[in-house]
Amino acid sequence: MSLNNKTLTLSTSKDIYTFNSNCSEKSDNDSEKFNLTDGNWFLKFKNLIPIKTLSILFFIFHGTLSVCMLRYVRFRKVEYMFIAPVALMTGEFFKIFLSIIFLTIENSSLINAAKILHLETMINWKSFLKTSIPAFCYAIQNLLYYYAISYLDATLLLVLQQIKILTTAFFTVILLKRKLSTIQWLSMVVLIVGIILVQIKFPNIKNSNTVYNSTNVNNTIETTSHYYPLPNPFHIPPQIIGLIMVLTGTTIAGFVGTFLEKLFKSSVTSIWARNFQLSIFSIPVHLTTAFLSEYNKISTHGLFIGFDYWVILMAFIFGVHGMVVAILLKHASSILKCFASGFVIILTALVSIALFDKWPSYLMIFGTLVIFVAVYMYTQYPYRSKIRTNPTIVEAKA
C-alpha cells in the first residue's frame, strides 16, 4: 500500500487514510477548501498578514470583546447573578459545537469529521488523556484564586497574579527548550510592572473603612470563618495561606499555558479536534467547581440561576475565546500571549471610556507606555547564540 507521510502520521486506519488523502488532494487543487467566492482568497490574505500576527491581533480584539461583555453582564442590575463556572461550562458546549463545524469544513464532510474524532478519542486514547491535564489544572487554579481573595487584599492579589508571566517563561525554557536573552527576561519584569500600573486601583478609604473596619455598634462583626473559609488547625497566618495559594496558582498557570502550547505544536492532531477534547474534560471540571464554590446557591435556586440571553451570548463569546487562545498558542507562543494580554487590558480601558464613561488615570497611561517598552524589549532583543571561533582556523590564518 502506498501512503504519503502526511497521511501516515495522521491515521492508523485504512479507511481514514483514504479520506485524508482525498482531502489533501482537494486542498492542493484549491477546489473545496475555504471556497467562498475565490479559492485563492485565503492564501492571498495569509501571505499579506502572517498567521502568527493575525492570531495575536484576533486574540487582542476578541479578548477585549470578552472583557467588555463580562463587565456589562456582571454589573447590570439583575435579581440573581449567574454562577461563573456554569457560564464557563456553557461556553464549553458552544466550543464543542464550533469545533465539530470547523472540523467538518476542514475535512469536507461530517462523516470524515466523526471518523477523526473517533480516531483521536477512542483509538489514540493516550493522547486524548493528555488533554485532561490542562482541564484539571485550570480548575485547581480557579479554586485557588477563589479562596485566595478571602486571605489577601484585592490589590495584593492582583500584583501577585502577574508572577504567572515569569512562570510561563520558566516553563517555556524547561518544557519547550526555548532560550531567552537577558533583555527578554527583563522585558517580562517590565511587563509585570506595566500591567500592575494599568490595572491597579486604590480603594476609597471611607468605603474601605465602612466595609471592613466598621465601628458602628449596631453592626454585627462577622466571624473569622466568613473571611477564612478553610480550616486552619496549625494557626498559620492568613496572609501566608493566601500567598501560598496565589504562588501555587501562578505556577500552575505558567505550566498549563506552556503545556498547551507544546500540545498544539508537537501534535499532528487537528486544532479543532484538540479543542473538542479539551471541552470534553472541561465540562465536568467546571460543573464540579460550581458545586464546590456555590453549592448553597445551586441547591436553592438551581444550576442556571441568573441566565438570560445576555449570559448565553457571553458564554458563546467565551467559548470562541477558548478557540482563539488555541490558535494563538499553535501559531505564536504562551509568552506572546502574556504580552497580548497586556494589550487587551489597554484596549479594554480605551473602550471603557466610550461604553462605561470610565476615564483612565495617570497610572494607567504610564502603565500603557511601560507595556509598549516591554514589547519593544522582547521583540528587538531576542536570544542570539554565541558564535564560537575555531582556534585551528585562527592559527592557520595567522
Average pLDDT, the chain: 81
C-alpha–C-alpha distance, residues 281 and 263, integer Å? 15
- The DSSP string of 38-103 is -TTHHHHHHHHS-HHHHHHHHHHHHHHHHHHHHHHHHHS--SSPPPHHHHHHHHHHHHHHHHHHHH
Residue 15 clears pLDDT 50, i.e. is over it: no
In the predicted model, what is the mean pLDDT of residues 91-106?
96
Cα radius of gyration rounded to whole Å, the chain: 25
> Is residue 12 predicted with pLDDT exceeding 90?
no
Higher pLDDT: 346 or 391? It is 346
Say whether pLDDT at 206 is over 60: no
- Mean pLDDT for the stretch of residues 169-184: 95
Alpha-carbon distance of 78 to 156, in angstroms, equals 30
Confidence band, pLDDT 50/70/90 cuts, at residue 266: confident
pLDDT band at 151 (very low <50, low <70, confident <90, very high): confident
- How confident is the model over 220-240, as a mean pLDDT? 66
CB atoms within 10 A of CB 310: 15
**Percentage of the chain surpassing pLDDT 90?**
53
Out of 24-28, 284-288, 342-346, which region has the weakest mean confidence (pLDDT)? Answer: 24-28
pLDDT > 70 in the chain, percent: 78
pLDDT band at 331 (very low <50, low <70, confident <90, very high): very high
pLDDT band with cut points at 50, 70 and 90 for residue 248: very high
Over the stretch 335-367, which tens digit does the pLDDT of each residue have? 999 999 999 989 988 888 887 777 778 888 999
pLDDT band at 392, cuts 50/70/90? low
- Read off the pLDDT band of 46 (50, 70, 90): low
pLDDT at 201 over 80: no
Average pLDDT of span 273-296: 92
How many whole angstroms separate alpha carbon 64 and alpha carbon 55?
A: 14
3-state SS, residue 288: helix
Return the axis-axis angle of helices 238-266 and 132-148, rounded to nearest 10°. Answer: 160
Considering only residues 94 and 138, tell me which one the structure prediction assigns the higher pLDDT: 94
Helices and strands, counts by H and E, the chain: 19, 0
397 has a pLDDT exceeding 80: no
**Amino acid making up residue 21:** S
| Pairwise pLDDT comparison (24 vs 153), residue with the higher score | 153
pLDDT of residue 389: 55
Grid cell at residue 327: 490558535
